[in-house]
Chains A and B, each alone.
Chain A
């Protein structure tokens, strides 16, 4: 289960970075703000999941 959760966390982090990169490539103007927050939220969820996976992994070692 832990490897699967690790992959999911990595996917989320990757997806967050892709969203951020794609949004920022439109140029810096107010309309991209919701997209930036969306990318940041996906990234934050990935990091949160990763921290839980690492904690569980340490506990099982």
Chain B
């Protein structure tokens, strides 16, 4: 009887699908991040976005190189596992899992916030139970959509991503043409520069606007010809997101409004950025900004909340997809129980991972919603967390998870350049220092060091300025490490060292499964040449 083949993830993600998976995740971040950053970094919001954006470009380049070299599901977690070993791979993966589950709850939350612009009955402050109920229904719906399969989800993402790119381009182009005043921008930056603490908080929130490139590498195992497609889609995505984030922040600081801005609670006049960044409006800042674009704003006021809500919903969808894929990859790597790699026999999707991490997202949603649902809990939050509410809780954790995992990815990038120079890199980050290690030519990535310094600084800013983030984030990591150690002890696996793996064989399998046969041949030739060189060196008399 022939051996029955274990179901694997199918390769159905096209170039546009790969781009839209990334865009639907990271593109929606600006809808959440703009208001939060304006509220914290004030007149330096564009500089905060610039700082985070430069770090994001380094992250994007690192992910592009690594995902094209190792096109497997798992993304950052897999790269860290391969570069630094099991325990660090687990920590990075666990931090990414936190981000993806927060992605589900945070974007579902803000999706309903945007909808509440048109349907006031969904407002979290006025009708918290209906807000919470709709969020829950959305999470359940996305969970079911992902169980059915990636092809359907990719088509859904692709259409909405295309609509959103057109819409955002229209808002920004018309805003810059008809309402932007560069002198007002310079003036706002000079008179509204924030304190150092608020600037650091603004930068750590700005990184929230750039989280999600992970999705492209998460989908690598389901992408056709990943080593060729991923560099193309990643670079376009990195630049598109950077342009949108810098454009929105510059526009918000230097735009003359079409309508008068309402006075604040104390009756004082406020500037556009103050109005967008206050607690009442920071959840729907993009929609309010779009409504202030002359003439076009009349139309934008109606459709941008809808489009924003849909984009935020598909970002939540990316969270369901990403968390299930990374849990699948971690389970395959012996970092999580094998139940997480169980694939649905009909739909070939990781069914247990999808359900489990959607449930975690629901718990996070509940924790974020408690202060609005229960006044007693609101008093506790005010006492312990300095009044930070649901949105702050989710954003804090999002920034913490991203900064932690990206820090490890940069170290893994450097380690893999040194320890695995033979794997063909179809895309290589520019600016490298070449030298030789054990007779092999390696290239030390300067961008990796710059990126690590940047993201590590953001991690420190997050711990310094986010009250909930600095408690809940490390607690999540400690919980994960405990689960990891128990699992490893039960299965008699090394606790702090790594399992023995044949990386050479695994790399050949990865490239063969990806359909990258030319790269596989190149890799085999590199191995042969390296082995011959080592043998020749061993035969030489001392």
Contacts and interface: CB of A to CB of B under 8 A. Distances in A.
Chain B CB within 10 A, most for which of A31, A34, A35:
A34
A26 B186 contact: yes
A48 B47 contact: no
B190 interface: yes
Interface residues of A, number: 18
Contact of A34 (B47, B190, B232, B235): B47
A33 B50 contact: yes
Interface in A6-53: 22-23, 26, 29, 31-35, 37-38, 41-42, 44-45, 48-49, 52
Given A26-B183, A31-B189, A37-B53, A45 B243 contact: yes
A20 to B, nearest CB: 12
Interface residues of B, number: 23
B140 interface: no
Given A23-B182, A26-B186, A41-B246, A34 B239 contact: no
B186 A31 contact: yes
Given A23-B182, A26-B182, A41-B242, A34 B249 contact: yes
B236 A45 contact: yes
Interface string B41-53: 0000011011001
Nearest to B190: A31
Contacts of B307: none
Contact of B50 (A22, A29, A37, A49): A37
B193 to A, nearest CB: 10
B341 interface: no
B430 to A, nearest CB: 12
Interface in B423-476: none
B49 A41 contact: no
A42 B50 contact: no
A45 B53 contact: no
A34 B50 contact: yes
Interface string B218-262: 000000000000001001100110110011011000000000000
A57 B240 CA distance: 23
Given A31-B189, A34-B50, A52-B232, A45 B240 contact: yes
B185 interface: yes
Nearest to B243: A41
Chain B CB within 10 A, most for which of A22, A35, A52:
A35
Contacts of A33: 47, 50
Contacts, number: 46
A15 B242 CA distance: 15
Nearest to B186: A31
B49 A34 contact: yes
A39 to B, nearest CB: 9
Contacts of A41: 239, 242-243, 246
A44 B47 CA distance: 20
Given A22-B182, A34-B47, A37-B50, A42 B232 contact: no
Contacts of B240: 45
Contacts of B53: 37
Interface in B34-60: 46-47, 49-50, 53-54
B189 A38 contact: no
A33 B53 CA distance: 13
B239 A31 contact: no
A23 B54 CA distance: 19
Contacts of B186: 26, 29, 31-32
Interface in B491-512: none
B243 A34 contact: no
A34 B246 contact: yes
A31 B50 contact: no
A29 B182 CA distance: 13
A35 B250 contact: yes
A37 B55 CA distance: 13
B322 to A, nearest CB: 25
Contacts of B236: 45, 48-49
Contacts of B232: 52
A44 B239 contact: yes
A9 B183 CA distance: 29
A9 B431 CA distance: 26
A34 B188 CA distance: 14
A17 to B, nearest CB: 14
A18 to B, nearest CB: 9
A38 B183 contact: no
B264 to A, nearest CB: 26
A49 B183 CA distance: 32
B250 A38 contact: yes
A22 B239 CA distance: 20
Given A26-B186, A34-B49, A38-B247, 7 more contacts: A23-B182, A32-B186, A34-B250, A35-B182, A35-B185, A37-B54, A48-B239
Interface of B: 46-47, 49-50, 53-54, 182-183, 185-186, 189-190, 232, 235-236, 239-240, 242-243, 246-247, 249-250
3 smallest A-B Cβ distances: which pairs? Answer: A45-B239, A34-B46, A38-B246
Interface of A: 22-23, 26, 29, 31-35, 37-38, 41-42, 44-45, 48-49, 52
15 contacts: A22-B182, A23-B182, A26-B186, A31-B190, A34-B50, A35-B185, A37-B53, A37-B54, A37-B246, A41-B246, A45-B239, A48-B235, A48-B239, A49-B236, A52-B232
